[in-house]
Chain A
Amino acid sequence: MKPGNKARTTIRLSFSYIALILLTAFCAYPALWVLMSSVRTGDALFSDTILPTAYTFSHYTELFAKHPFGVWYMNTLKIAVSSMILGTILTLLTGYTFSVFRFTGRKNLMSLLLVLGLFPGFMSMIAIYILLNQMNLLNTHTAVIIVYAAGAPLYFLFAKSYFDTIPRSLVEAARIDGAGHMPIFFRIVLPLSTPLIVYTALMTFTGAFTDFIFAKLVLRSPDKKTLAVGLFDMIGDRFSNEFTMFAAGCVLAAVPVTILFILMQRFLVEGLTAGADKG
């Protein structure tokens, strides 16, 4: 390599590192800011200094004392885990059926589901509200779980394209050996699909964990609220009055999901590119 080349590489790399550091600051700033706000004394949004001068954890304890924050947390976990289990099973079964079986109306059904998947659920919230009212499910967690789980199969496409990559001969060999459809699915196909299961479960979990617009409509009493609804109301009701406490709530709500995402990175890449035309 020529010396001029080497110098050029060094300059290029230094610029790249500067850009990377700037971008990292840009990405991490809101998280760091809210973290600092949550341990700052006082309760205002405004602070004179960039770094807090005095630290306190009182906002975290206040959060549990003034609001049923623990109850919200448990509600959210309950809803998210239940819809994750139901939604994942439904999504995987739908994807598997479309991938393995050929039947009349298959293609039309698939495009219908994909189109329906584009509509935000609340576009027709009034109707769902009335439906739930008729089933006496308003202000219950069951309603939220049912709606989340029922919506999950609309995003079957990744499951389908993942199952497409599992060799058909494997399934056919098992069938010749006399295995039924269900045993094949649970004993042979699912154990080969860990990345898919993780991705689907993660997506349904975080979807249910972070949705607030539907939960806000259905869950009315304070003891039924989820984290998202509770936090939204906290800042909507008394704007900037309890800002530091709200920040503490944000930190507690965001930490588990953020860690999950970071740990599951490699599954995300596969899942996100499911719709792409891979060469």
Chain B
Amino acid sequence: MAKSEQHQAWLDGLDAQSRAKQGGFIDGISAKLRRSRPVEPPAHPFRGAPDFWNAFEWPLEERITRFMDNFKAVGGHPVRLADMEAVKSFIAGKASEMSAKYIIRQNQPELNELGLEAALPDAKISVWNSDPNEHWKARAAEADFGVVVADYAAAYTGSITVLSSKDKGRSVSLLPTVLMAIIPAERLHTRLGQVLVNFDRIGRENLPAGIHFISGPSRSADIENDLTIGVHGPGVVYAIIVG
């Protein structure tokens, strides 16, 4: 433990330096702005999107259609299914079609009830962070499929939002070759702002470490403008809307 104590002492030293420096650094900015530092939050009359935009909303059916159109346009695979039973058959079908052997899924109630394990007896299915001794990043890196339930989605940009927690690994939506993202229809909003506003509302103390918006398969156009899919993240992304 000597090393980690030493490391902690070094970090504490850095933080003390940083706090000591902060006042002067910020005062320097105030001096350049030729006034003293405001103590009250300044009035911010232009916060967020314009009013006409905040009033804009599509009905559910149109949200679903638009989301699917946008997701398809960037090379993703959107599908709409009636219920979780259909989701189970769909994922099991894709797994046998692509001969997926390793599947990693989040430890979410919807997925615990899904019964993928019974539907795919030959695949090795691991549940994120279910065993403290497992090397979870490696399990995600070797996986053919990563299965997640989205926290939110936004139709206008075709985006899926996933939040991290002890049961929801950031790696599960990132490291596997194929991503299967299940979106309950009631979590699909029209605008990005309808998702973002939740983070202001719950406040700093309640934010997860990682908030990720995913709008299609990983891509790059860095070689001669030629579009390449699946550069670092999943190259095949299914957005499964349920309901």
Q: Do A and B come from one complex?
A: no
Chain A positions near chain B (C-beta within 8 angstroms): none
Chain B positions near chain A (C-beta within 8 angstroms): none
